[in-house]
Chains A and B, each alone.
Chain A
Amino acid sequence: MTTTVAPAAEAPATPRPRRAGRGRRPTLTLYTGLVLAWLLLPIAVMILFGFNDTHSKVNFTWQGFTLTWYEHLFAIPNLTSALVNSLTIALVVAVVATLLGTPIGMALGRYRFRGKGSVDLLMFAAIAAPEIALGAALLSLFIVMGVPRGYWTIVIAHVAFCIPYVAITVRARMVGHDPTLEEAARDLGAGPWTAFRLVTLPMLLPGVASGALLCFALSVDDYVITSFNAGRTVTFPLWVYSASRTGVPPQVNVMGTLIFVGGLIIAGSNVLFSRRRAS
């Protein structure tokens, strides 16, 4: 039954968008394909050269297929500890920034209050400011205060630039939310905390989850701000950058590939999860 109904229901929603026909004007299609290929080429290179049977440190030319780099993934202690640093920092940052950013997003999405414009502006400025300026400004603060740079200064910096992203993601989710639902819960005798826990939070959860994931991704990937506030601590991007001058070992490609696959799995399950919730 549903299979016969679905196409009929979809038809009026997309009123003849393909009037031109895809086959008749293939130039644009071909062009888009080329651009997408260009966009994906470095990813293919990364994955491919993780299987490269190279013998020198320089991983530039194809030498044949091998799985040895997957076996000896952790053969470079510095690289491994850099990766561990990146992952643990990202985890801490995701938790802290989500805890701090979610209430801001909720407040911006629901209430009208004096000073809302300036909070909006602050979020905007923190996102719009060039990363290098954020990193340099924090470094200046740490220098003036005499704070030694290291693991925790990286965490502080990352949380600062992640908060606005969480706030905006949650706010977008909040705007579509009907506040009367929570009112109803309160009228039925729920306290503010219970109403939040049972009504608002479940509705907000996909937004919060994507905010947290975004933080994790931004933090793992950050080079610029980290390089200013890292001191002697090395993260994965910092290690790769400094290795890029002398040649990047294939283990980096393998780790990049694993992060890539892991990210896809997490993002995919988040999408599936929120779709199931929505339906």
Chain B
Amino acid sequence: MTRRRRRPGDALAPYLMILPGWLWLAAFFITPVIVMVSLSLQTGDFIDGFRQTFHFSTYADVVRTYHVQLVRSLTYGAIATVSCALIGYPVAYWIAFRAGRHKSVFLFLLLLPFFVSFVIRTQSWNVVLADHGVVLGPLKDIGLLSADFHLLATPYAVIGGLTYNFLPFMVLPVYVALERVDPKVIEASTDLYASRTQTFLRVVLPLSLPGVFAGVLLTFVPSCADYVNAGILGGPSTTMIGNIIQTEYFTNLDYPAASALSFVLMGALLLAVFTYARTLGTEKVLEAAAR
């Protein structure tokens, strides 16, 4: 009785609805990636033009030349992600279990940074951490720090900036996962004489892991590929792969090398993400990510 009737056109409807947006993505997402791969296999220079030569050794060349920055990007990204998880998990836990009636207020506070431009937020750290700024200035004046001590242009500043910028992306999915933990399960654990620590380690933590996985995904990819933090807070010794890609495109005009590097970065990160998502199910990760 409640079964849906099929009307003529029903079978076509989803395709017609998807088509316009799909065409846009085909033209400006799928095609560009293919073009980028093709460009990475060309040789030539900016003045004489580039020809398709399937010169695969460009890939070997860029990896050899820039492996330091590649490894550095992945390392910074990994450290920032772990820091986000360590800093963010207790916050998510507190909001989920201890914030009581004011949960939404604290979630809102967590979202506030998104109302300020990413570049301005990072720039604000530049002001705070400046060599004679509000933090270092007074400490230097009273002689606690030597006059040439600086935080900017160090890995600490860049990783700190990355951790700062991507922290909410970790806290929110973890919060969602913790929020879904059935209080009855916790009660059952307590009734069975589990201590607080045992309840947390054996019940709450495992149930919240999907949230942590989603958070890792949402922080690791953008922080590895980020170059705004390295650009504003970093120096020559903290150059990340994003900075290199930009230089190759705009300063060196070496399009094949730039394309190859971008593809290596995207390939590496997407591969990591997909193997990660495969083990958990794409839908689940997407859902968690969309919240």
Contact = CB atoms under 8 A, between A and B. Distances in A.
Nearest to B30: A122
B262 to A, nearest CB: 4
A61 B283 CA distance: 49
Contact of B283 (A29, A120, A132): A120
A183 B6 CA distance: 10
B255 A140 contact: yes
Q: Is the interface of B mostly helix, strand, loop or mixed?
A: helix
Contact of B14 (A111, A121, A136, A223): A111
Given A130-B221, A138-B28, A180-B2, A244 B126 contact: yes
B155 interface: no
A131 interface: yes
A256 B117 contact: yes
A264 B115 contact: yes
Contact of A168 (B121, B128, B227, B290): B290
A18 B184 CA distance: 14
A252 interface: yes
A100 B289 CA distance: 21
Interface in B2-48: 2, 4-5, 7, 9, 11, 13-15, 17-18, 20-22, 24-25, 28-33, 35-36, 38-39
Contacts of A59: 127
A228 interface: yes
B115 A259 contact: yes
Interface string A162-189: 0110011100100000011001001000
B39 A144 contact: yes
Residue in B32, B39, B100, B245 with the greatest tally of chain A CB atoms within 10 Å: B32
B188 interface: no
Contacts of B205: none
Interface in B268-290: 269-270, 273, 277, 282-283, 285-287, 289-290
Interface stretch (B54-62, B63-71, B106-114, B143-151): B106-114
B221 A128 contact: yes
Nearest to B289: A127
Contacts of A223: 118-119, 228
B249 A132 contact: no
B210 interface: no
B4 A179 contact: yes
Contact of B117 (A28, A41, A240, A264): A240
Contacts of B119: 221, 223, 237, 240-241, 244
Contacts of A134: 29, 32
A8 interface: no
B18 A104 contact: yes
Given A61-B134, A160-B24, A129 B266 contact: yes
A193 interface: no
A43 B127 CA distance: 12
A136 B87 contact: no
Nearest to B97: A17
A138 B32 contact: yes
Contact of B87 (A35, A62, A131, A236): A35
A183 B245 contact: no
A278 interface: no
Contact-residue bracket for chain B: 35 or more
B91 A119 contact: no
Contacts of A122: 22, 25, 29-30
Q: Is the interface of A mostly helix, strand, loop or mixed?
A: helix
A116 B116 CA distance: 36
A259 to B, nearest CB: 7
A157 interface: yes
A100 B20 contact: yes
A132 B221 contact: no
Contact of A183 (B4, B90, B255): B4
Nearest to B285: A124
A82 to B, nearest CB: 12
Contact of A172 (B36, B121, B224, B290): B290
Contact of A137 (B35, B183, B277, B287): B35
Contacts of B117: 220-221, 236-237, 240, 256, 259
Given A16-B183, A128-B277, A144-B38, 17 more contacts: A17-B183, A20-B97, A42-B128, A60-B130, A62-B134, A104-B21, A124-B282, A126-B25, A132-B245, A134-B29, A136-B259, A137-B29, A140-B32, A141-B36, A179-B4, A244-B231, A264-B115
**Nearest 9 pairs of A and B residues by beta carbon:** A130-B225, A42-B124, A133-B266, A137-B32, A103-B17, A100-B21, A136-B262, A107-B14, A111-B14
